Amino acid sequence: MTVALDPPKASFRLGMLLYDTRYRSITIQVIFMILIVVFFFWLYENVVTNLRAAGKDFSFGFLWTRAGYDINQMLVEYSSDSTHARALLVGLLNTLFLAFITCILATVIGVIAGVLRLSKNVLVARLMEVYIETFRNVPVVLWIVLVNAIMAVSMPEPKDYRGENPTAEMLFFDSVAITNRGVYVPEPLFSRSLGNTDIGIFLISNDLLAIMAVVLASIWGYRRLQANATRVQNDTGVRPVTWWKGLAIIVLPLAALLAATGFHLGYPELKGFNFVGGVQARNSLVAMWLALSIYSATYIAESVRAGILAISRGQTEAALALGLQPGLATRLVILPQAMRVVVPPLISQYLSITKNTSLALAVGYMDLRSTLGGITMNQTGRELECMLLLMGTYLTISLVISSLMNIYNSSIKLKER
Partner 1 sequence: MEDASYVRSEMLPAQSPPASETGIVHWVRANLLSSVGNIVLTLAAIYVIYLIAATIGPWLYRSVWNAGSLQECRAIIEANFGPGKSGACFAVIAQRWEQIVFGFYPRELYWRPTLTLVLMLVALGPILFAWVPRQVLWFSITFPAVAFWLLWGGTVWLPVMIVAGFVLGYVAFRVVSELNGLAGVVAAAVVPVLWWLFLCGPASDVLQSILPIALRELGSDQFGGFLLSTVIGISGIVFSLPIGILLALGRQSDLLIVKTFCVCFIEGFRGVPLITLLFVASLLLNYFLPPGTTFDVILRVIIMVTIFAAAYIAEVVRGGLAALPRGQYEAADSLGLDYWKAQRLIIMPQALKISIPGIVGTFIGLFKDTTLVSFISLSDPMQIVSSIRANTEWNGIYWELFMFVGLLFFIFCFSMSRYSMYLERKLKTDHR
Partner 2 sequence: MAEAALDHTIDRSRMKVTDEVAIQISGMNKWYGTFHVLRDINMSVMKGERIVICGPSGSGKSTLIRCINRLEEHQQGTIIVDGTELTSDLKNIDIVRSEVGMVFQHFNLFPHLTILENLTLAPIWVRKVPKKEADETAMYFLQKVKIPEQAHKYPGQLSGGQQQRVAIARSLCMKPRIMLFDEPTSALDPEMIKEVLDTMISLAEEGMTMICVTHEMGFAQAVANRVIFMDQGQIVEQNAPREFFNNPKSDRTKLFLSQILGH
In this complex, which beta carbon is closest to partner 2, that of residue 21 or of residue 59? 21
- Examine residue 122 and tell whether it contacts partner 2 (CB under 8 A): no
Least distance from C-beta 390 to partner 2, angstroms?
A: 44
Cα–Cα distances (Å) from 260 to 74, 205, 208, 246, 249, in that order, read: 29, 16, 13, 22, 17
161 binds, among partner 2, partner 1, none (CB under 5 to 8 A by kind): none
| Length of the chain measured in residues | 417
179 binds, among partner 2, partner 1, none (CB under 5 to 8 A by kind): none
Least distance from C-beta 5 to partner 2, angstroms?
A: 7
In this complex, which beta carbon is closest to partner 1, that of residue 96 or of residue 127? 127
Among the listed residues 83, 133, 155, the one whose alpha carbon sits nearest the alpha carbon of residue 372:
83
3 binds, among partner 2, partner 1, none (CB under 5 to 8 A by kind): partner 2
Give residues with Cβ within 8 angstroms of 150, minimum separation 6: none
Q: At what angle do helices 140-149 and 283-310 cross, to 10 degrees?
A: 140
4 binds, among partner 1, partner 2, none (CB under 5 to 8 A by kind): partner 2
In this complex, which beta carbon is closest to partner 1, that of residue 267 or of residue 299? 299
309 binds, among partner 2, partner 1, none (CB under 5 to 8 A by kind): none
394 binds, among partner 2, partner 1, none (CB under 5 to 8 A by kind): partner 1
- Whether the CB-CB separation of 207 and 192 falls below 8 Å is answered with no
Cα–Cα distances (Å) from 400 to 201, 241, 367, 403, 404, in that order, read: 21, 40, 19, 5, 6
- Where on the chain is the footprint of partner 1 (CB under 8 A)? 18, 25, 28-29, 32-33, 36, 43, 46-47, 49-51, 53, 116, 119-124, 127, 133-134, 136-142, 145-146, 149-150, 153, 355-356, 358-359, 361-362, 369, 373, 383-384, 387, 390-391, 394-395, 398-399, 402
* CB environment 320-333: b (16+ within 10 A), e (fewer): eeeebeeeebeeeb
Q: Phi and psi (nearest 5°) for 265?
A: -100, 140
Least distance from C-beta 398 to partner 1, angstroms?
A: 4
- The number of CA neighbours under 13 Å toward the Cβ of 173 is 3
In this complex, which beta carbon is closest to partner 2, that of residue 1 or of residue 53? 1
Least distance from C-beta 11 to partner 2, angstroms?
A: 13
Beta bridge partners of 142: none
- Examine residue 4 and tell whether it contacts partner 2 (CB under 8 A): yes
In this complex, which beta carbon is closest to partner 2, that of residue 6 or of residue 416? 6
**Which 8-state DSSP code applies to residue 161?**
G
Q: Which residues 8-37 are close enough to bind partner 2 by CB under 8 A?
A: 16, 19-22, 24
Give residues with Cβ within 8 angstroms of 381, minimum separation 6: 56
414 binds, among partner 2, partner 1, none (CB under 5 to 8 A by kind): none
What one-character-per-residue DSSP string does 299-353 give?
HHHHHHHHHHHHS-HHHHHHHHHTT--HHHHIIIIIHHHHHHHHHHHHHHHHHHH
Least distance from C-beta 141 to partner 1, angstroms?
A: 5
Q: Phi and psi (nearest 5°) for 130?
A: -60, -45
Least distance from C-beta 406 to partner 2, angstroms?
A: 24
Cα separation, 65 vs 85, whole angstroms: 8
Q: Which residues bind partner 2 (CB under 8 A)?
A: 1-7, 16, 19-22, 24
